[in-house]
Chain A
Amino acid sequence: AAGVIQSPRHLIKEKRETATLKCYPIPRHDTVYWYQQGPGQDPQFLISFYEKMQSDKGSIPDRFSAQQFSDYHSELNMSSLELGDSALYFCASSSYGETQYFGPGTRLLVL
């Protein structure tokens, strides 16, 4: 069965640069969630989208923005990167209110 796809899988950036992470949900899933997992920490919710509209917002910095496109894929844009942004970024998808299925994550390293 098709799973959630994230790209890139690994990303290295310098401080103050910009990064774009992409998430392709499971077909027919209408909801996408983004989570951030810092080293040795549990995943923290950032933001979610349902039918291309933002449905919930967590502890997402103002430097970050995200959107869901007409084909339901989502992109997380991160600007003015800081060392503390180094983390594993998970995307999950679901049919609204149903079980969330996670992607493999994008590991971001900011130098």
Chain B
Amino acid sequence: AQRVTQPEKLLSVFKGAPVELKCNYSYSGSPELFWYVQYSRQRLQLLLRHISRESIKGFTADLNKGETSFHLKKPFAQEEDSAMYYCALRAGGTSYGKLTFGQGTILTVHP
């Protein structure tokens, strides 16, 4: 079975400060990792997927298979980054497709 852990329920930073949202996973196979973001009263939106290795809105995330982590980072946080962030894992095999989510981290960026 797969599991995703986001150890921080709440994270507060000031505008312009670096931010790192932690995500650890456990899965015996080769996972696909995603970050989804949910702004206030909006739907879940894909922020990043590790396969594409792209940077969206200044956020990056690197899959570290040795540490089984997929931390989300941004060097300079903006107020509009305040939102709920979910790390999610998609397994292979017969469970291909469904996402397993972490508990989510509420990021608040203060002016």
Contact = CB atoms under 8 A, between A and B. Distances in A.
Q: A and B from one assembly? A: yes
Contacts of B97: 31, 33, 48, 50, 55-56, 94, 96-97, 100
Interface residues of A, number: 27
Contacts of A3: 43
A102 interface: yes
Nearest to B44: A102
Chain B, interface size category, equals: 20 to 34
Contacts of B94: 56
Given A42-B86, A42-B104, A43-B86, A48 B98 contact: yes
A25 interface: no
Contacts of A103: 43
Contact of A101 (B46, B86, B98): B46
A100 B99 contact: yes
Contacts, number: 54
A105 to B, nearest CB: 7
B12 interface: no
A45 B49 contact: no
Contact of A99 (B42, B49, B86, B104): B49
27 contacts: A35-B99, A42-B101, A42-B103, A42-B104, A43-B44, A43-B86, A44-B101, A48-B97, A48-B98, A50-B97, A55-B97, A56-B94, A56-B95, A56-B96, A56-B97, A56-B98, A58-B98, A90-B43, A92-B99, A94-B97, A96-B97, A99-B34, A99-B46, A100-B46, A102-B36, A104-B42, A104-B43
